[in-house]
Amino acid sequence: MESTLKQKYKDLPGTECSFPQEDFMDFYSSDGLRLHTYKYPCDEPKCLLYSFHGLHAYSDYHSLIAMYMSDAGCEVLAFDQRGHGKSDGERGLICTFEAILDDSIKFVESTSKEYPNIPIYLLGSSMGASLCLLINEKMPGIIKGMILMSPALRSRSRLEFIAHHFVLKFSCLCPGMFVATFDDYGAYSNPNIRNYLLENPYVYNGGIRFGSISSVTAGMRQARELIGSLKTPFVVVQGTGDNIIDPQMSEELYNRAPATDKELLVYEGLPHTFVFENDIYAICEKLQKWISFRIS
């Protein structure tokens, strides 16, 4: 199904490749959910790069970036968060941010044992970028650098307003109920991107759920609190056309973080999810150079 869909939309950037290895290990959450894993191998890895997707997405979004990173000497590992992609769990539901943070740390810890003495880097988009910041804080001294794409630090939509006024009351009672559409599709330059995502069975296209709003806003708040103490090297990629999160927060992250090795790449008009835009090739090349310089 996935390969057929990619063939149908083969002219879209980012659909020309996939992770060469999937489900390469038996990986379960602490509460017994099977989580689908991915690997983009490298013959002689110089580092491990862990990839974390955003809300309602799945790991295949980063397959093109993973290919570029593998060419640079990175072994790229990923998994679909619970309720997302090919993993178990209620579709589109993030029960708590602590749960997906625990899953992510467990994945890093369990797989990195197979690669002793190899530096660890993180890559995340949107919610996945927030996760990277929290993983880095929970694993002090372990993470050597981070690639943060459209980091979810503060919502540009009604998300946090809804969470503050309504969701805290309802998320415990009915976490699976959806309350609003979380739609970035209108910002894409190519309407076929919308069609590809709507036809993809591994992308959640329903309304955002009460539990997810509560969890993601909690994660954004926790991630914001870490900005003033962030010393790990990082690069941020942000589009000014982002209508999901506040793009000014990427600038604030860059300006306030005390890290001495940091970089901010801003692209005019680029939407929140830019992995299917033509600019992704130039972005991949820049990120490849960024990580190559640090692992060579």
Extents of the domains making up the chain = 2-295
d(CA 81, CA 212): 12
Phi first, then psi: give them for residue 161, nearest 5 degrees: -60, -45
Query: How high is the pLDDT of residue 19?
Result: 98
Q: Is the pLDDT of residue 175 over 60?
A: no
Report the chain's mean pLDDT, rounded to a whole number.
91
Q: Is the pLDDT of residue 167 over 80?
A: no
Question: Are the CB atoms for 185 and 194 separated by under 8 Å?
Answer: yes
**Region 80-107: what's the mean pLDDT?**
97
Confidence of residue 85 (pLDDT cuts 50, 70, 90): very high
d(CA 271, CA 70): 25
**Region 271-289: what's the mean pLDDT?**
97
Structure tokens at 229: 């103490």
Q: Is the pLDDT of residue 168 over 70?
A: no
Structure tokens at 261: 């090795």
Query: How high is the pLDDT of residue 211?
Result: 83
Confidence of residue 172 (pLDDT cuts 50, 70, 90): very low
Distances (CA, A) of 162 to 62, 93, 142: 30, 16, 36
**Amino acid (one-letter) located at 156:** R
Count CB neighbours of 209 within 10 A: 27
Query: How high is the pLDDT of residue 240?
Result: 95
Q: Is the pLDDT of residue 244 over 60?
A: yes
- Could you give the angle at which helices 127-138 and 210-224 cross, rounded to 10 degrees? 50
Confidence of residue 17 (pLDDT cuts 50, 70, 90): very high
Question: Are the CB atoms for 177 and 170 separated by under 8 Å?
Answer: yes
**Domain 2-295 grouped into CATH 1.10.10.10:** no
Category of 252 on φ-ψ map: left (φ > 0), alpha (ψ -120 to 50) or beta: alpha
User: Among 1-15, 32-46, 80-94, which is the least confidently predicted range?
Assistant: 1-15
d(CA 26, CA 75): 18
113-148 per-position pLDDT tens digit: 999 999 999 999 999 999 999 999 999 999 999 999
Question: Number of helices (H) and strands (E), helices first, in the chain?
Answer: 10, 10
